[in-house]
Amino acid sequence: MNFLGTVRAKDKNNKNILSMTLEHYPVMTENEILKITEKALKKWDINYISIIHRIGKLFPKDKIVYVGVSSKHRQNAFNACNFIMDYLKTNATFWKIEEFENENKWVIQDKKEIEALEKWS
Amino acid sequence: MIIKYFSWVKDIVGKSEETISISPDIDTPEKLIDFLITKNEQYKKAFSKRATIKVAQNKIYISKSTKIKNDDEIAFFPPVTGG
């Protein structure tokens, strides 16, 4: 199972995004990603997990995040991939700033991202 | 103590990092915020919605009532938005 996330061309208000910059907290980010993979490995029978998350300046359609999970049974890989994405969005210390023609805006975390975690508890 | 700021917290405070010496009675993030907001209006503004701000101690998430020490690295940041 592979998931590849890309940068959107429009924000929630349909405004054109020219570029986006991802800031992160070095070391804490890597530690949090490792914790997420450890949780997934405990929860499902998985052979292999690969996570790549870009940082710095990105443009619409650029690849931003990749999650790859391999397992003997497909359901484990689908579930683990979904779980990893949910936790990346709520625990890994990345912050996006969207750059528009006349302003830059920090992205605010969507409440839905936190609600998405409920299905794993 | 090293204090780091990220995202819009960093922008409002006006710096990404600072080293300060704190008295032993400032032993939780809650008390550290109480101290910082007395320094100037920027800190006051950055922490005006303090319930939304997350804290890490030596790169691990903690609550605002966790005990902290002078040799810790403390980070303040808004909810994350990666992925």
Q: Please tell me the predicted confidence (pLDDT) of residue A69.
A: 98
Q: Is residue A79 part of a domain?
A: yes
Q: Which CATH code of 3.40.50.720, 3.20.20.80, 3.10.20.30, 3.30.70.360 fits the domain covering B2-77? A: 3.10.20.30
Q: Please tell me the predicted confidence (pLDDT) of residue A117.
A: 93
Average pLDDT over residues B4-12: 98
Residues linked to residue B73 through DSSP beta bridges, in sequence order: B2
Q: Measured between CA atoms, how close is A73 to chain B, in angstroms?
A: 25
- Measured between its terminal Cα atoms, the distance across chain B in Å is 31
Cα B82 to chain centroid distance, Å, stands at 20
Of A7-16, A27-36, B60-69, which gets the smallest average pLDDT? A7-16
Residue A85 has pLDDT above 90, yes or no: yes
Chain A and chain B share a number of CB contacts under 8 A equal to: 69
Torsion angle, CA of B5/A84/A1/A48, rounded to 10 degrees?
A: 90
Average pLDDT over residues A34-44: 97
Name the residue facing B59 among A5, A28, A89 (closest C-beta).
A28
Residues of B in contact with A109 (CB under 8 A): 78-81
Residues of A in contact with B57 (CB under 8 A): none
Q: Is residue A119 part of a domain?
A: no
Q: Which residues contact B74 (CB under 8 A, 6 or more apart)?
A: B1, B2, B3, B4, B29, B32, B55, B56, B57, B68
- What are the residue boundaries of the structural domains of chain B, listed by start? 2-77
pLDDT class for A121, splitting at 50, 70, 90? confident
| Per-residue pLDDT reduced to its tens digit, B17-60 | 999 999 999 999 999 999 999 999 999 999 999 999 999 999 99
Helix (H, G, I), strand (E, B), or coil: what is residue B9?
A: helix
Q: Measured between CA atoms, how close is B6 to chain A, in angstroms?
A: 8
ipTM for the assembly = 0.95
Overall pTM surpassing 0.90 (yes/no): yes
Residue A77 has pLDDT above 90, yes or no: yes
Length of chain B: 83
* CATH number of the domain residue A33 falls in: 3.90.1170.40
